[in-house]
Amino acid sequence: MYELLKGLTVVEAAAFIAGPTCGLYLGQFGAEVIRIDQIGGGPDFRRWPLAPSGDSLYWEGLNKAKKSVVIDLARPEGRELAQRLATAPGDSRGLFVTNFPVDGFLSYERLKALRDDVICVRVMGWADGRPALDYTINAAVGVPWMTGFADDPRPVNHAFPAWDFITGAYAALSLVSAERARRLGAGGCEVRVPLSDIAATALANFGLLAEVLVGGADRPRQGNDVFGAFGRDFVIKGGERVMVVAITPRQWRAILRTLDLEAAVAGLEAELGVSFAGHEAVRYQHRERLYPLFEAAFAGRTSDELAPAIEAEGVCWSTYRTLGEAAKDARLFAGNPVFGHADQPSGLDYPVPGPAATLIGPKRGAPAPAPRLGAHTDEVLADLLGLSSGEIGRLHDAGLVAGAVK
């Protein structure tokens, strides 16, 4: 937990990954993030995977570093409370993150009527308001047909919801940027961040759209071969598989040296009349001739033989391993200062991540846990809306809000 955003108060009404990661990142950078959920939890509250207690490991991962308010959002008075929280007065407030529909009770129009300079960041599926998920957007933009092996007739989705995570980070950037503009006099705005546009712009941003329009051909499926460079997976002695990529001339010389391939590759260069020493694309163009040399070299060496040389030389590589195996890697998880322990709702003790960024200077602080559902209802109603205990009590009596379930 860092304090870069200390002083900001963000209200979040969003389920699943994109909206909640936005709030998570802001909270881990020190903003006060107040999450609104339906009493009993929203559609993501019991999402798998679950702890033995039935608590969702998914939910408590995504909603760390936040406060929790629960409201009956099915009733008009409950919806009005949510609107009022989103538009609470004060320079540091009126900052709202949501994935609720553009036209519903949390529309920008309705919020702006309550607070003219409200900032609303709205994550969406399709830009036109139609629903979508990471996995359907992924199919729509063509990525499953460029993923995996050419000999498999089936398209391959991401198992990891990349579009959700990019959207969440981009939404957080949008909120902090809009808040800066507001503080400098620009007024508020709604910022819409649709998964569909995140995906479309991402593919265009590194040249894939232009490539297919200009060249007329889709990027082929080529297993784990890196496009345009020398990199792919190789099986080493013992059967383990490694991913190896040599991008720069220095890395290329290093991998040839490590594998004793300098002579063989020089012979190939002479035969083909090319030099592989310079631009990576030349190695890519002739990879079908290079791969057999590398396959044989890797197949004759174990991980222990390869690792020291490869790592010393700055070549990018990794063994393929499962997450279970990776979990034992101190550099990634258990011994990584980014991870710590926190009192999570599930009661389980496992390494919990703080922010992915590491600041040089400020102290990191322990990772903040997820809240118990409803733990902050009363505190937030008093703090943001100035409600008295009596008023808050009447909301509880009416079943419009609830506290933590004991």
Give residues 195-214 in contact with a copy of itself (rule: CB under 8 A): 196-198, 200-214
Adjacent-strand bridge partners of 97: 12, 121
| Closest to 402 in 3D by CA, of 89, 20, 96, 73 | 73
Judge contact between 33 and 66, C-beta under 8 A.
yes
| Closest to 374 in 3D by CA, of 43, 69, 136, 101 | 69
Is there binding between residue 86 and a copy of itself (CB under 8 A)? no
State in angstroms the smallest separation of the CB of 97 from a copy of itself. Answer: 13
List Cβ<8 Å contacts ≥24 apart for 379-387: 379/67, 380/34, 380/67, 380/69, 380/85, 381/69, 381/81, 384/9, 384/11, 384/34, 384/84, 384/85, 384/88, 384/93, 385/81, 385/84, 385/85, 385/88
- Cα–Cα distance measured from residue 172 to residue 96, given in angstroms and rounded to the nearest whole number: 11
Adjacent-strand bridge partners of 241: 235
Is there binding between residue 29 and a copy of itself (CB under 8 A)? yes
Applying CB under 8 A, which of residues 10, 71, 193, 261 lies at the interface with a copy of itself? 193
How many CA within 13 A on the CB side of residue 84?
Answer: 17
How many CA within 13 A on the CB side of residue 330?
Answer: 1
Stretch that binds a copy of itself, among 87-95, 187-195, 286-294, 298-306 (CB under 8 A): 187-195
Neighbours of 314 (CB within 10 A): 12
Q: Would you say 68 or 174 has its CB closer to a copy of itself?
A: 174
State in angstroms the smallest separation of the CB of 392 from a copy of itself. Answer: 31
Is there binding between residue 41 and a copy of itself (CB under 8 A)? no
- Please give the residues from 291 up to 320 whose contact with a copy of itself meets the rule CB under 8 A: 311, 314-320
Q: Would you say 161 or 374 has its CB closer to a copy of itself?
A: 161
- Cα–Cα distance measured from residue 68 to residue 403, given in angstroms and rounded to the nearest whole number: 9
Q: Is 151 a catalytic residue?
A: no
Q: Would you say 262 or 349 has its CB closer to a copy of itself?
A: 349
Query: Binders of a copy of itself: how many residues, by CB under 8 A?
Result: 165
Q: Would you say 125 or 403 has its CB closer to a copy of itself?
A: 125
Amino acid at 377: T
State in angstroms the smallest separation of the CB of 56 from a copy of itself. Answer: 7
State in angstroms the smallest separation of the CB of 59 from a copy of itself. Answer: 8
Applying CB under 8 A, which of residues 158, 253, 287, 289 lies at the interface with a copy of itself? 158
Judge contact between 82 and 105, C-beta under 8 A.
yes
Two structure tokens written together for 119: 């900032």
State in angstroms the smallest separation of the CB of 214 from a copy of itself. Answer: 6
Among the listed residues 44, 72, 134, 164, the single catalytic one is 164
Applying CB under 8 A, which of residues 187, 238, 347, 386 lies at the interface with a copy of itself? 187
- Please give the residues from 316 up to 375 whose contact with a copy of itself meets the rule CB under 8 A: 316-327, 329, 331-333, 336, 338-339, 346, 348, 350-362
- Please give the residues from 244 up to 273 whose contact with a copy of itself meets the rule CB under 8 A: 244-245, 247-248, 251
| Closest to 226 in 3D by CA, of 257, 247, 197 | 247
State in angstroms the smallest separation of the CB of 305 from a copy of itself. Answer: 19
- Please give the residues from 9 up to 28 whose contact with a copy of itself meets the rule CB under 8 A: 17, 21, 24-25
Residues in contact with a copy of itself, shown as a per-residue x/- string from 42 to 81 under the rule CB under 8 A: -x--xxxxxxx---xxxxxxx-x-----------------
Work out whether the CA dihedral 35, 36, 39, 42 comes out positive or negative: negative
Angle, CA of 155, 158 and 161, to the nearest 5°? 145
Where does residue 152 rank: exposed (0-12), middle (13-18), buried (19+ CB within 10 A)? exposed
Is there binding between residue 162 and a copy of itself (CB under 8 A)? yes
Q: Quick check: bond before 101 cis, omega within 30?
A: no
Two structure tokens written together for 98: 């949501």
State in angstroms the smallest separation of the CB of 117 from a copy of itself. Answer: 10
Q: Would you say 60 or 378 has its CB closer to a copy of itself?
A: 60
- Please give the residues from 113 up to 142 whose contact with a copy of itself meets the rule CB under 8 A: 125-128, 130-133, 135-142
- Please give the residues from 212 up to 241 whose contact with a copy of itself meets the rule CB under 8 A: 212-219, 221, 223-224, 226-229, 231, 233, 241
Where does residue 377 rank: exposed (0-12), middle (13-18), buried (19+ CB within 10 A)? buried
Is there binding between residue 150 and a copy of itself (CB under 8 A)? no
Q: What residues are annotated to the active site?
A: 164
